[in-house]
Chains A and B, each alone.
Chain A
Amino acid sequence: MTELKYLIFLGCAIPYRVSAYEISTRRVAEKLGIKLVDMPNYNCCGLPVDPVSHELTLALAARNLCVAEQQGLNIMALCPGCAGTLRKVNKMLKEDRKLKELVNGYLKETGLEFKGNIEVKHLIQALAEDIGFEKIKGAVQKPLNTLKVAEHNGCHVLRPVKYIGFDDPENPLILKNLIEATGAKCLDYMDETECCGAPIIGVNEEIPLQLAKDKLRHIKDAGAQAMVTICPFCHMMFDTNQSRIERIFNETFGLPVLHYPQLLGLAMGFSPEELALKELRVDASKLVSIL
């Protein structure tokens, strides 16, 4: 069998403030037999500048894709924003010859040319498609049978359908199944597929905080003991901002928000230290102690 090897695309937000997500991903990937190669001289995926210049977004994304093509490896991104953007631009450039010519024109100065011979996946897509639920179940040493959690998919892992083509954005099941592979129960709740609001927090704080507050409330009401995310921005809204949301809206949640590979890692027998659980803003030690 060929070795499962990916270029790991870290993006900007993860090295900036969410190393726990990276640490836990590297741990579980290694144990599951995914070899992660650090992507040389990558740059921002392009998404943050899309509102400013769509052309620059295309060019930045395409440059990353070309670097991967030179390495001859597919990309695995941890951030849905990066995964979504690289996946979308990859598809657009592969299918639209005129657009490819335009973007290759931008790239010419840098000595690169988009060819279109690699694929891009988000972490959960790689886990679901390349490892598979059965193998993940098989890697579980300490099933989290007593745990009830709620998931929050990052929008860009799923939408827009016509560019992403992964899972069903109206009723996403893949993250749920990945969670349930650990033995934990994944609960349904209201507005499950709704955005966390993070992308506009730089221009308006009020709306995203209300959005996140509502989701935390619905998750709490559903009876979840923890929340599981797969995006550094969603994680910031629910974990980093949780105490602020509690203060502003005079509510108490105390809901630990785990990165999916942290949850999987616990079930695979890694210690909380190995998975950097201490880096979470909302204390998860009580949760871990009951597992």
Chain B
Amino acid sequence: MSETKETEFKGAEQTIVLKITDIDPKFKYEINKIPGAEKIMLCFQCGTCTADCPIARFSDTYRPRQILRMTQLGLKSRVLSSDLIWLCAACFACVDHCPQDVEIASVLRALRNLAVKGGYLPAVYKELTSNILQTGLAYKIPDSRLKRRGEIGLPSLPKADLESVNKLADATGFLKAIQTRRT
């Protein structure tokens, strides 16, 4: 994670310097149309999500409450370009505890999906998705491992239907999203 990004985020809480041109007032309506993120406007900043977040406990900068507020405020480019949105471990403790029934982890997922459309994709996800398109599975299982299954008495691993997997990647618009990615 880059130093500048962290400072930028910290800055948002410490000094309130927002340029009106940095704000996209319709951003929240873009987010609340995404399945799972519908209730973003109900967040009243109680901070239960941050208090319960195992990642926030070990990070000075990752604060789900803060990300939700910035989203409500419309700080679109700051949120979508931030490395911090990729730190949610999707343990769903926040989802179970939110008194407003906001699916915080799903809002984070929605933000990531938009970040990908905007051209941001961390290397690890690039690899996982390319593995899925090539093998049907998130990891490329080496031939030696596949052969070893027989030796240790396991049945051979079923072959994935790659044609179908790629058709689904196309039908969902996923292929288009990653092709238009800025690299």
Contact between A160 and B92 (Cβ–Cβ < 8 Å)?
Answer: yes
Q: Which 4 A-B pairs have the closest CB atoms?
A: A202-B124, A195-B91, A159-B92, A55-B172
Q: Does A161 contact B (CB under 8 A)?
A: yes
Known: A50-B109, A54-B113. A10 touches B96 (CB 8 A): no
Q: Is the CB of A210 within 8 A of B58?
A: yes
* Count of A interface residues, CB-CB < 8 Å: 64
Chain B, residue nearest A60 (CB): B168
Q: A44-B137, A110-B161, A194-B54 are in contact. List 17 more A-B contacts (CB 8 A).
A: A16-B141, A23-B152, A26-B154, A43-B132, A43-B161, A48-B129, A53-B113, A53-B173, A54-B35, A56-B169, A58-B172, A106-B168, A110-B167, A160-B95, A170-B96, A211-B58, A276-B152
Within 88-116 of B, Cβ neighbours of A (below 8 Å) are at 88-93, 95-96, 103, 105, 109-110, 112-113, 116
Q: Does B23 contact A (CB under 8 A)?
A: no
Residue contact A106 to B138, C-beta cutoff 8 Å: no
B172:A53 contact, CB within 8 angstroms: yes
Is B17 close to A, CB under 8 A?
no
Let me know if A288 is at the binding interface, CB within 8 A: no
B136 interface residue, CB < 8 Å from A? yes
- Give the docked Cα–Cα distance between A204 and B146 (Å): 30
A287 within 8 A of B: no
A17 to chain B, nearest CB (A): 8
Judge whether A159 and B96 touch: CB under 8 Å: yes
Contact with A along B1-24 (1 / 0, CB 8 A): 100000000000000000000000
Decide if B132 touches A44 in the complex (CB within 8 Å).
Answer: yes
Tell me whether A49 and B103 are in contact (CB under 8 A): no
Given contacts A99-B35, A203-B87, whether A15 and B132 have CB atoms under 8 Å apart is: no
Nearest Cβ on chain A to B55's Cβ, whole angstroms? 6
Are A160 and B171 also in contact (CB < 8 A) when A49-B132, A207-B55 are?
A: no
Expressed in whole angstroms, the Cα–Cα distance for A8 and B35 within the complex equals 29
B contacts with A: majority SS: helix
Please, how many angstroms separate the alpha-carbon atoms of A106 and B122 in the complex?
Answer: 26
* B121 & A38 in contact (Cβ 8 Å cutoff): no
Q: Which residues on the B side are within 8 Å of A112 (C-beta)?
A: 164
For residue A19, CB closer than 8 A to chain B, the reply is: yes
Closest B residue to A206 by beta carbon equals B58
Give every chain B residue within 8 A of A194 (Cβ-Cβ): 54, 91, 93
Q: Which of B23-56 contact A (CB under 8 A)?
A: 34-36, 54-55
Chain A, 148-163, CB within 8 A of any chain B CB: 155-156, 159-162
A200 within 8 A of partner (CB): yes
Is A73's beta carbon under 8 Å from chain B? Answer: no
Assess the B157–A52 pair: CB atoms within 8 A: no
A176-219, CB < 8 A from B = 191, 193-195, 197-200, 202-204, 206-208, 210-211
Report yes or no: B164 in contact with A110, Cβ–Cβ below 8 A: yes
The answer to whether A16 and B34 have CB atoms under 8 Å apart is no
CB distance from B119 to the nearest CB of A (A): 13
Q: Is A169 within 8 A of B96, CB to CB? A: yes
Given contacts A16-B145, A195-B54, A211-B54, contact A52 B92 (CB under 8 A): no
Of A41, A109, A203, the residue contacting B171 (CB under 8 A) is A109
B169 closest partner in A (C-beta): A56
Asked if A270 is an interface residue, CB under 8 A from chain B, the answer is no
Instruction: State in angstroms the CA–CA spacing of A206 and B168 once bound together.
Output: 35
Partner of A54, one of B36, B54, B125: B36
Q: A39 touching B158 by the CB < 8 A rule? A: yes
Do residues B122 and A38 form an inter-chain contact, with CB atoms below 8 A? no
**Contact B172 A59, beta carbon cutoff 8 Å:** yes
Which residues of chain A from 79 to 124 have a CB within 8 Å of any chain B CB? Answer: 99, 105-110, 112
Given known contacts A52-B113, A54-B113, A207-B55, A12 and B139 CB-to-CB distance under 8 angstroms: yes
The reply to whether B174 and A56 form a contact with Cβ atoms under 8 Å apart is: yes
Contact A105–B171 (Cβ < 8 Å): yes
Partner of B177 from the list A39, A53, A59 (CB cut-off 8 Å) is A53
Q: Does A22 contact B (CB under 8 A)?
A: yes
B91 nearest CB neighbor, chain A only: A195
A43 and B137 contact, Cβ closer than 8 Å, known pairs A51-B112, A199-B90: yes
Which residues of chain B are within 8 angstroms of A48 by Cβ–Cβ distance? 125, 128-129, 132, 138
